[in-house]
């Protein structure tokens, strides 16, 4: 009898030990936060881009907060050259990264890059520069571990136009000819963000019932210095005729402010200026009146979205082909709120 009780006790103990063992195992397998040995390769189209600098800083910090080790997160500068970036991707593949996060130099290279990465059986998260719809459909049809995380640039363009339209024709039509004379400063035209912001900012004005008159449209490649030169030249050529300056991003709008001030013009009084991104400096300029408004391009939500997709791929979970995010208008009414959220 005694023997039977002892063996029963021992059997119970063994089962209990096994169960505890299973519990430990399964929690480490499901791996919430257990990414210390996972390697992430990140390609940024160009380190000198202001917005992408905020983005990559947030992306790295968030990955570390999820449990990735800093030394296992490698971020490469594509130096705005697709051949350089393609080589970096090949090096990451040779290095056996567990996941790739890619901000393409040329969106049109997506199909080539996708084929290379899929062949190496590495999951791929595209960010910021959206590949074509056909390309995204291909990922879906083939059930590949590839996705895109970003915002719909049409929304940001529309918001820029609405910020101007909301001021009312009387205020913006400085020369009283019933039309809005504007100049457009474009980002890299290969990029859908530049194409859509250019198109939809003006469309929003037209949709609000304004007549428009384009005086100039130049490419500033997202760059402050180029923005300054373009706006300085346009102000020299068209002077007081210019009522609105649309910049596809804030870096170029910051350049525009320099040119506007140098020409002795005053935003809000004799000219209006909008950008996109909500860089800290731009929000401060909206508050002080040096800029009419901007549109918050939420790099925090996008960076987190991209990292979350990378984690899902690592865990073997399914990821949507398109992971979206909303833009937000920034005017003097809410610029402080946005600044507080950014700091
Ligand atoms: C845009 C952003 C620009 C620039 C560009 C790079 O979304 O507004 O400032 O960073 O991405 O592709």
Model pTM score: 0.89
Q: How many CB atoms lie within 10 A of CB 123?
A: 22
Cα 93 to ligand 1 centre (Å): 26
**Domain parsing of the chain, residue ranges:** 11-151+298-325, 154-296
Domain 154-296 classified CATH 3.40.50.2300? yes
**Fold: same for 11-151+298-325 and 154-296:** yes
CB 210 within 8 A of CB 165: yes
pLDDT, residue 310, reads 98
Pick the CATH number of 11-151+298-325 from 3.40.50.720, 3.40.50.2300, 3.40.50.1480, 3.40.50.1360: 3.40.50.2300
pLDDT, residue 288, reads 98
Instruction: Provide the mean pLDDT of the chain.
Output: 92
Cα 49 to ligand 1 centre (Å): 8
pLDDT, residue 9, reads 42
Lowest mean pLDDT among 12-16, 29-33, 116-120, 301-305: 12-16
From 222, 224, 282, 299, give the residue whose CB has the most ligand 1 atoms within 8 Å, as the site to mutate. Answer: 222
pLDDT, residue 34, reads 86
The whole-number average pLDDT for the span 167-178 is 98
The better pLDDT of the pair 7, 232 is held by: 232
pLDDT, residue 32, reads 53
Cα 249 to ligand 1 centre (Å): 7
Q: Which of 126, 67, 168, 82 is nearest to 306 (CA)?
A: 126
The better pLDDT of the pair 26, 115 is held by: 115
Kindly tell me if the per-residue pLDDT of 15 is higher than 70. Answer: no
H or E element at residue 304: helix 299-314
In ligand 1, which atom is closest to the CA atom of 52?
A: 10
203-216: pLDDT as tens digits: 999 999 999 999 99
Strands (E) in 71-210, as ranges, are 73-77, 99-102, 124-127, 146-149, 179-186
What is the C-alpha to C-alpha distance for residues 57 and 248, in angstroms, rounded to an integer? 22
Lowest mean pLDDT among 24-33, 85-94, 211-220, 294-303: 24-33
């Amino acid at each position: 009898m005694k023997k039977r009780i002892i063996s029963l006790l021992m059997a119970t103990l063994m089962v209990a030990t096994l169960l505890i063992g299973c519990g430990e195992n399964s929690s480490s397998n499901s791996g919430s936060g257990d990414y210390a040995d996972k390697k992430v390769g990140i390609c940024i189209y160009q380190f000198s881009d202001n917005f992408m600098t905020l983005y990559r800083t947030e992306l790295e910090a968030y990955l570390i907060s999820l449990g990735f080790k800093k030394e296992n997160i490698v971020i490469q500068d594509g130096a705005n050259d697709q051949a350089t970036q393609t080589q970096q991707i090949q090096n990451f593949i040779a290095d056996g990264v567990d996941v790739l996060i890619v901000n393409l130099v040329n969106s049109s290279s997506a199909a080539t890059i996708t084929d290379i990465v899929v062949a190496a059986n590495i999951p791929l998260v595209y960010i910021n520069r959206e590949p074509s719809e056909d390309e995204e459909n291909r990922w879906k049809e083939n059930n590949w571990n590839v996705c895109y995380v970003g915002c719909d640039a049409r929304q940001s363009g529309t918001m820029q136009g609405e910020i101007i339209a909301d001021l009312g024709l009387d205020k913006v039509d400085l020369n009283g000819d019933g039309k809005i004379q504007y100049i457009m400063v474009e980002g890299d035209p290969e990029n859908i963000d530049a194409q859509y912001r250019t198109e939809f900012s003006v469309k929003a004005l037209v949709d609000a019932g304004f007549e428009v008159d384009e005086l100039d449209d130049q490419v500033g490649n997202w760059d402050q210095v180029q923005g300054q030169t373009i706006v300085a030249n346009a102000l020299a050529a068209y002077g007081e005729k210019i009522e609105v300056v649309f910049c596809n991003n804030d870096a170029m709008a910051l350049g525009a402010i320099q040119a506007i001030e140098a020409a002795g013009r005053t935003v809000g009084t004799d000219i209006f200026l909008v950008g996109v991104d909500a860089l800290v400096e731009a929000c401060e300029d909206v508050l002080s009146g040096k800029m009419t408004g901007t549109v918050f391009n939420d790099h925090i939500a996008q960076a987190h979205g991209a990292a979350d997709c990378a984690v899902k791929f690592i865990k073997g979970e399914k990821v949507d082909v398109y992971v979206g995010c909303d833009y937000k208008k920034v005017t003097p009414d809410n610029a402080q709120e946005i600044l507080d959220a950014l700091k």
